[in-house]
Amino acid sequence: MAASDLHINDRIVISGWELTEQFILTGGPGGQNVNKLATGVQLFFSVATSPALSERIRRNLIRIGGRRVSKEGVLMIEAKSHRSQERNREDARERLKEMVLEAALPPPPARRKTRPTRGSIERRLKEKSGRSEVKKMRGKPGRED
């Protein structure tokens, strides 16, 4: 279990009891330590049942998580790029924080429909007729009587 709370921003705080950590053996840097110590971290966070998240943030986080979210709504973040267990724990928590912040962003404003200007319509039609003339010139020459 992760002991400390994860502060996302001034409104969102994920309690320590909501985060579960599991330590795994990893390859990569570390010399002989790699074979002896479990330095990699798998951080589990139940997105579907978290009281810290609103429904909109929950939906966005599941979409952002993609394949890292199980059918039960549990997000799994794996960190194994550092040599020490503590650095990997910090890395996993930071990545979770970034994902929640991205999910909490407000939706983009709705697109307003616009009409093309008269000038752009005329330029498009002129371009089309010019292209048509070029293609007509590619044909076989006609017989003149």
pLDDT value, residue 144:
67
pLDDT value, residue 92:
92
CB neighbour class for 76 (10 Å; exposed up to 12, middle 13-18, buried from 19): middle
pLDDT value, residue 95:
92
Instruction: Name the DSSP letter for residue 17.
Output: G
Q: What is the pTM of this model?
A: 0.69
Residue 127 lies in a domain: no
CATH number of the domain within which 63 lies: 3.30.160.20
DSSP secondary structure, 19-59, as one string: EEEEEE---SSSTTHHHH---EEEEEEETTT-TTS-HHHHH
pLDDT value, residue 50:
87
Structural domains in the chain (count):
1
pLDDT value, residue 139:
78
Give the pLDDT means over successive 10-residue stretches in the chain (145 positions).
75 86 78 74 89 89 89 90 86 91 91 95 97 89 68
Residue 109 lies in a domain: no
How far apart CA 58 and CA 90 sit, in angstroms, is 22
17: containing domain: 6-104
pLDDT value, residue 145:
58
